[in-house]
């Protein structure tokens, strides 16, 4: 586990923002997530990377830290609305893990605002690229730029 397995490339210089966004999301919220996320990835280039999960309950604190380590300065976890997790408690567990990861981030001297949980608006399915566009529009990057 020595090398980061999430490759969030730094944004190209042609783009004026230094924003790199990683979005972990539950595949259950968007039945056509593959096409939706790829279209946005093509549009925005390397400034945004998606990590589809079979359920957000599969996410671990390490995933968030690795994403930050690999260059993301904002990491979102997009989960299904409360009470509708297909696997029962996946989103509840994911929220706890994100909170745990926030503690680790703070301990390392960073603002925990770089990690954010987002509940998808109901009813499902929704479009992940639509949610991502909203997040990108309001993303405020306040973390120091880390070495690539």
Q: Which residues bind another protein (CB under 8 A)?
A: 1-2, 60-62, 65-66, 68-69, 104-105, 107-110, 144, 146-147
Measured distance CA(65)–CA(61) in Å, rounded: 7
- Pick the closer one to another protein by CB: 40 or 55: 55
The single-letter DSSP state of residue 110 is -
We find the least distance from the C-beta atom of residue 61 to another protein, in angstroms, to be: 6
We find the least distance from the C-beta atom of residue 34 to another protein, in angstroms, to be: 28
- Pick the closer one to another protein by CB: 107 or 137: 107
Which alpha helices (H) appear in 48-138, and where do they start and end?
61-69, 90-107, 128-138
We find the least distance from the C-beta atom of residue 69 to another protein, in angstroms, to be: 6
Residues 6+ apart with CB under 8 A from 140: none
Which residue, 51, 59, 48, 55, is CA-closest to 29? 55
- Pick the closer one to another protein by CB: 140 or 148: 148
């Amino acid at each position: 586990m020595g090398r980061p397995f999430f490759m969030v490339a730094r944004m190209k210089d042609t783009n004026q923002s230094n924003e790199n966004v990683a979005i972990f999301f539950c595949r259950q919220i968007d039945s056509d997530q593959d096409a939706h996320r790829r279209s946005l990835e093509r549009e925005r280039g390397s400034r945004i990377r998606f990590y589809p999960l079979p359920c957000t309950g599969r996410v671990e604190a390490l995933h968030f830290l690795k994403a930050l380590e690999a260059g993301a300065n904002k990491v979102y976890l997009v989960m299904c609305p409360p009470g509708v997790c297909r696997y029962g408690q996946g989103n509840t567990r994911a929220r706890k893990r994100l909170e745990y990861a926030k503690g680790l981030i703070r301990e390392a001297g960073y603002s925990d605002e770089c990690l954010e949980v987002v509940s998808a608006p109901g009813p499902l399915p929704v479009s992940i690229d639509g949610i991502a566009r909203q997040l990108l529009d309001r993303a405020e990057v306040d973390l120091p730029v880390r070495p690539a």
